[in-house]
């Protein structure tokens, strides 16, 4: 899997790009491009169509940040974005989520952190595309994803499912009942809340 995964790196610090390229190469990923700002990342991704873009959340002296770039890449359905961040500010996380960002990696990170972060981001992007295909609208897909993520968490906790299994369960229930995934997710959340209240 990793051998076929083509990656673009976007970070304004060349030393981080170099370290990241080395780590990714060691892990068997193929780094197809490196850039130092968000706009270049968007342009290069449009041209090279990588499987994933690993991008810093902030670029020194640039107003156009990693979240802005992620929004374009999500809207144009080009590639998922894994954001590198040294920040844990809530507003950035909320903005990133609304832009369709599918994963985060907090600096400083180790080589061992990369594979799970990349694989989760790739899986979430596939899920997000499935949601978007069903609702046919990006804004609605982002809204649906919030409910689906919460419902997935409930199924994972209560039934010991993996993230992918939980998503497939919601997808299957949606197809079987002919209801949108958002409705299915909301029903799971409501049932869980009712159960918790009954316990109290």
pLDDT in tens, 120-129: 899 888 888 8
C-alpha–C-alpha distance, residues 116 and 171, integer Å: 23
C-alpha–C-alpha distance, residues 100 and 6, integer Å: 20
Which is nearest to 80 in space by CA: 139, 6, 175?
A: 6
What's the confidence (pLDDT) of residue 96?
Answer: 81
Instruction: Read off the DSSP letter of residue 33.
Output: E
Stretch(es) of the chain classified as CATH 3.40.50.2300: 2-127
pLDDT in tens, 106-117: 888 889 999 999
What's the confidence (pLDDT) of residue 69?
Answer: 93
Stretch(es) of the chain classified as CATH 1.10.10.10: 136-199
So what CATH class is 2-127?
Answer: alpha beta
Peptide bond connecting 187 to the previous residue in cis, omega within 30 degrees of 0: no
Q: How many residues does the chain have?
A: 200
Three-state DSSP at 81 gives: strand
b/e per residue 23-34 (b: at least 16 CB within 10 A): bbeebebebbbb
What's the confidence (pLDDT) of residue 1?
Answer: 46
The segments of the chain whose pLDDT lies below 50 read 1-2
CATH 1.10.10.10 is held by the domain 136-199: yes
User: How many other C-beta atoms lie within 10 A of the C-beta of residue 181?
Assistant: 24
Is the distance from CB of 73 to CB of 95 less than 8 angstroms? no
């Amino acid at each position: 899997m990793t051998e076929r995964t083509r990656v673009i790196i976007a970070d304004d610090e060349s030393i981080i790009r170099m370290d990241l390229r080395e780590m990714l190469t060691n892990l068997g990923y193929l780094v197809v491009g490196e850039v130092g700002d968000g706009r270049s990342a968007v342009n290069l991704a449009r041209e090279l169509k990588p499987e994933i873009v690993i991008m810093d959340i902030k670029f020194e002296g640039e107003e156009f940040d990693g979240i802005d770039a992620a929004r374009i890449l999500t809207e144009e359905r080009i590639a998922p974005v894994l954001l590198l961040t040294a920040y844990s500010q809530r507003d950035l996380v909320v903005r990133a989520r609304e832009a369709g960002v599918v994963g985060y990696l907090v600096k400083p990170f180790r080589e061992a952190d990369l594979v799970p972060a990349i694989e989760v981001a790739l899986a979430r992007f596939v899920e997000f595309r499935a949601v978007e295909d069903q609702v046919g609208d990006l804004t609605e897909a982002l809204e649906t994803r919030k409910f689906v993520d919460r419902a997935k968490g409930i199924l994972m906790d209560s039934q010991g499912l993996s993230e992918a299994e939980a998503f497939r369960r919601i997808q299957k229930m949606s197809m079987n009942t002919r209801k949108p995934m958002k409705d299915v997710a909301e029903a799971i959340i409501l049932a869980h809340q009712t159960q918790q209240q009954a316990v109290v």
